[in-house]
Each structure stands twice: as C-alpha cells, then as structure tokens.
C-alpha cells in the first residue's frame, strides 16, 4: 500500500513538472475547512472556532512564474443563534517556483462580523473592517492544458486596532484553511 502511494505521488509530480507553462488569465474557486481565531490583550476575544469557507481568485500570469491576483476569501462559523464570519480580501502576487506549486501573498482588507439572532428577537450584528495580509500555498494534484485541481493551505490576518474610546485592546482576527481549489486558465 505504501509503495503504491509513493509511486502515485511520483507520477503526479513528474507529470506536473513536464506540463506546459501557464500564462494569461486564471479563475479559481475552492472550498476551505479550518478555523477562525481571535486574539486580544484583554478579554474581548481569545479563542479558536471551527469554520468553513469559500475562496475565489482571479489572477493574470504575466509569465509562467509570476502574476498579479485578486483574492476573495471568507470563513464562517454558525452555532444555533450565533454566526461569526471573517473575510480577507487582498490584491497581491502569485509565484510559481515550479510548475505544480503556487505561492500567493497579498495585502488588503479584513472584515469581521458577529451576528446574534434569535427566533423572536431582532438580529444584532456587530462588524468591523481592518488592514489584512494573506498568504497561501497550493500544490496541483491533477492538471490538464486548461485546468488544475489543487490542495491549498491559506493564512489570513486582520489587524483591527483599538476603538476610539481606548477601552478596548488591539484585536487580531485570523483565518486558517485547508481545502481544494479548481483553477481554469489559458484565457
């Protein structure tokens, strides 16, 4: 069993390494599973919450190894009458050191939203927007001339700072996700 698995990985990597280089427009979408975390100096928030999400990406590869990207990524956790969502949306770069590996990084905005909603009560939504950074790494496991299926690991952080009243501490919100992405390219 182990020999079969190792042989499969070698075949996928060898096929990916000899595939044609990609340039031009790329569109990608993927599902993520992971967690949202919040950290502050006080007791405002400290903890981790299991979450699921969606990542959408548009990139223009200027060459086979470098491109510019717009990345939209949101994760959410819902439990009975409570929903916590964290979005990290960035503009950045994609780098391909080898054909089957894509590294991404970007700067942009994060948005956190907490929604307390009851069955008979009015919804109460609290939200904030902040500066954000995002990094990701994806490995193609299947690919053709026009598409690729990859396994992707993502990290995103929003830096929310202090409120004007100075009663709250700096708050940092994070997304961590592992998922699969489907990319169409060659437009």
- Identify the helix (H) or strand (E) that includes residue 10: helix 2-18
Is residue 17 pLDDT above 60, yes or no? Answer: no
**CA gap 96, 169 in Å, rounded:** 39
> pLDDT digits over 92-112, tens only?
999 999 989 999 999 999 998
Q: Where are the alpha helices (DSSP H) in the chain?
A: 2-18
Tell me the domain boundaries of the chain. 2-185
User: How far apart, in whole angstroms, are the C-alpha atoms of residue 145 and residue 147?
Assistant: 6
Beta-carbon count within 10 A of 100 CB: 20
| Model confidence pLDDT, tens digit, residues 107-154 | 999 998 877 765 444 555 567 888 999 999 999 999 898 999 999 999
- The CATH number of the structural domain formed by 2-185 is 2.40.160.20
Structure tokens at 47: 């903890």
Output the six-digit token pair for 54: 């969606």
Q: What pTM was estimated for this model as a whole?
A: 0.78
pLDDT at 40: 62
Asked if the model's pLDDT at residue 3 lies above 80, the reply is no
Distance CA 156, CA 59 (A): 18
Dihedrals φ, ψ of 91, to 5°? -110, 135
In angstroms, the CA 133 to CA 109 distance is 8
Structure tokens at 75: 């994760």
pLDDT at residue 166 tops 60:
no
| Cα separation, 113 vs 30, whole angstroms | 22
Residue from 34, 20, 32, 10 nearest 64 by CA: 20
Around Cβ 6, how many Cβ atoms within 10 Å?
Answer: 10
Q: What is the pLDDT of residue 97?
A: 96
How would you class 18 by CB atoms within 10 Å of its CB: exposed for 0-12, middle for 13-18, buried for 19 or more? exposed
pLDDT classification of 160: cutoffs 50, 70, 90: confident
């Amino acid at each position: 069993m182990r020999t079969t698995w190792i042989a499969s990985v070698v075949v996928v990597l060898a096929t990916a390494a000899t595939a044609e280089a990609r340039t031009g427009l790329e569109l990608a979408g993927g599902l993520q599973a992971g967690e949202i975390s919040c950290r502050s100096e006080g007791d405002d928030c400290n903890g981790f919450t299991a979450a699921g999400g969606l990542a959408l990406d548009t990139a223009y590869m200027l060459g086979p190894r470098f491109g510019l990207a717009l990345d939209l990524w949101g994760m959410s956790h819902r439990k009975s009458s409570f929903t916590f969502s964290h979005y990290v949306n960035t503009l950045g770069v994609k780098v391909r050191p080898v054909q089957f590996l894509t590294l991404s990084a970007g700067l942009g905005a994060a948005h956190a939203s907490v929604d307390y909603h009851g069955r008979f009560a009015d919804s109460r939504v609290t939200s904030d927007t902040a500066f954000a950074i995002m990094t990701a790494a994806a490995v193609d496991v299947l690919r053709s001339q026009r598409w690729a299926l990859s396994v992707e690991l993502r990290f995103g952080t929003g830096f929310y700072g202090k409120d004007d009243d100075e009663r709250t501490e700096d708050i940092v919100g994070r997304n961590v996700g592992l998922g699969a992405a489907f990319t169409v390219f060659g437009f």
